[in-house]
Amino acid sequence: MDNKLMLMIPGPTPVPESVLLAMAQHPIGHRSGDFGKIMAEVSEGLKWLHQTQNDVLILSASGTGAMEAGIINFLSPGDHVLVGCNGKFGDRWAALSQAYGLTVTKVSAEWGQPLNPDDFKAALEAEGQQPVKAVIVTHSETSTGVLNDVEAISHYLKAHPQVLTIVDAVTSLGAISVPVDEWGLDVVGSGSQKGYMMPPGLAFVAVSPKAWNAYKTATLPRFYFDLGKYRKDATKNSTPFTPPVNLFYALHRSLQLLKGEGLHSIFSRHQRLKTATRAAVQALGLPLFAPDDAASPAITAVAPHNVDAEQIRTVLKKRFDIAMAGGQDHLKGKIFRIGHLGFVSDRDILTAIAALEAALQELGYQGFSPGAGVAAAAGVISGSMKPGAN
């Protein structure tokens, strides 16, 4: 049967039908009053989702574009930055910073392990070094399913008020609470194809007043990603360049859906899906890649023994039309990743785990009792849904 693809990857994520239908409307002029009304409403909705009173600017880009904009608008060549590196995306931000001539000190952990906030504290207080201008951290490391403790890292930064906090929240915004103002985050980047429940194409950058002060003296080259232009036009509910109007329709509708669910329910749902998925994987005798105390509610990475990760993915796709993500870089072929962020429900988890069990059986894996994974996931879900839970 065609057209039954089920996305269980960390992005793009499934899109609600009403969001897809919103995109089917005829485009309108992006300088029109009607577009200005949409722009005003989505701007307020983005502040709600980010839990901030700061600017949240919208770019036509991917999450990487948001992060590049977050770096080039507030830093100058030669500035010293600390970059958290414990996965592909932390490494990417280090490479991006080096490409712009920044002085990079990596604060590293093994892939699959969280960054140690104390390492940032030590790096900030190291004697005889160039002063640190910014700390760049990936909140939810998509490549490994690890959640880094941005709250603890930002707490240490309160003793260094001159240092900017730049956060990649691409797979955490909309899945995990990221209280921008409470944590004192200066620049937070994210992308539309994750927790926002819409297709790729839009990127978002939250900017604090402290970051805007740094903007005044930053000298890295910028034009299309000059956030000052976006801020100026946002005051008029407009954009400096032609936006993808139909994606704004999608954003408008997705934010309505998210508000209807409510922040607490959104975060509780993702926590439940994470817990159910991890319980199921363990019941199947498959090792989890990230530790329980640092597991991302957005994605679960699995490191199977005695069965090939890529063969599991192949059977899931060919037999059941379910897409799960593979490992990246040196983890290719060693792990597979189950996405559970955005428009994902309890039923989706039960379906994916049932298919995973069938795939394991087809591949001759005998490390579990049939039905154990589904039973474990169902136990978490039914327990979480009891009156008064969450």
pLDDT at 4: 81
**Between 346-362 and 309-320, two packed helices, what is the crossing angle to 10 degrees?**
110
Does 12 sit behind a cis peptide bond, omega within 30 degrees of 0 on the bond before it? yes
pLDDT digits (tens, 9 = 90+) for 353-376: 999 999 999 999 998 999 999 999
CATH architecture of 262-384: Alpha-Beta Complex (3.90)
pLDDT at 127: 79
Q: Measuring CA to CA, how many Å separate 129 from each of 107, 133, 136, 156, 236?
A: 15, 12, 18, 18, 43
Above 60 in pLDDT, residue 389?
no
pLDDT digits (tens, 9 = 90+) for 149-174: 999 999 999 999 999 999 999 999 99
At 390, the pLDDT band (50, 70, 90 cuts) reads very low
Long-range Cβ contact pairs of 278-283 (< 8 A, separation 24 or more):
279/376, 279/377, 279/379, 279/380, 280/349, 280/353, 280/356, 280/373, 280/374, 280/376, 280/377, 281/338, 281/373, 282/376, 283/368, 283/372, 283/373, 283/375, 283/376
Q: Residues spanned by CATH 3.90.1150.10 within the chain?
A: 262-384
Mean pLDDT of 326-336: 96
* Rounded-to-integer distance, Cα 138 and Cα 171, Å: 9
pTM: 0.95
pLDDT digits (tens, 9 = 90+) for 238-265: 999 999 999 999 999 999 999 999 999 9
Burial class, 206, CB count within 10 angstroms (exposed 0-12 / middle 13-18 / buried 19+): buried
pLDDT at 388: 42
**Between 372-384 and 263-283, two packed helices, what is the crossing angle to 10 degrees?**
150
Q: Measuring CA to CA, how many Å separate 389 from each of 268, 295, 349, 367, 383?
A: 10, 21, 19, 32, 8
pLDDT at 385: 55
CATH 3.40.640.10 corresponds to the domain 18-260: yes
At 3, the pLDDT band (50, 70, 90 cuts) reads low
Q: Residues spanned by CATH 3.40.640.10 within the chain?
A: 18-260
pLDDT digits (tens, 9 = 90+) for 71-104: 999 999 999 999 999 999 999 999 999 999 999 9
In DSSP terms, which residues pair with 342 in a beta bridge? none
pLDDT at 327: 97
pLDDT > 90: percent of the chain: 96
* Rounded-to-integer distance, Cα 148 and Cα 170, Å: 13
pLDDT at 386: 52
Q: Which of 26, 298, 333 is nearest to 178 (CA)?
A: 298
Tokens of 195: 């927790």
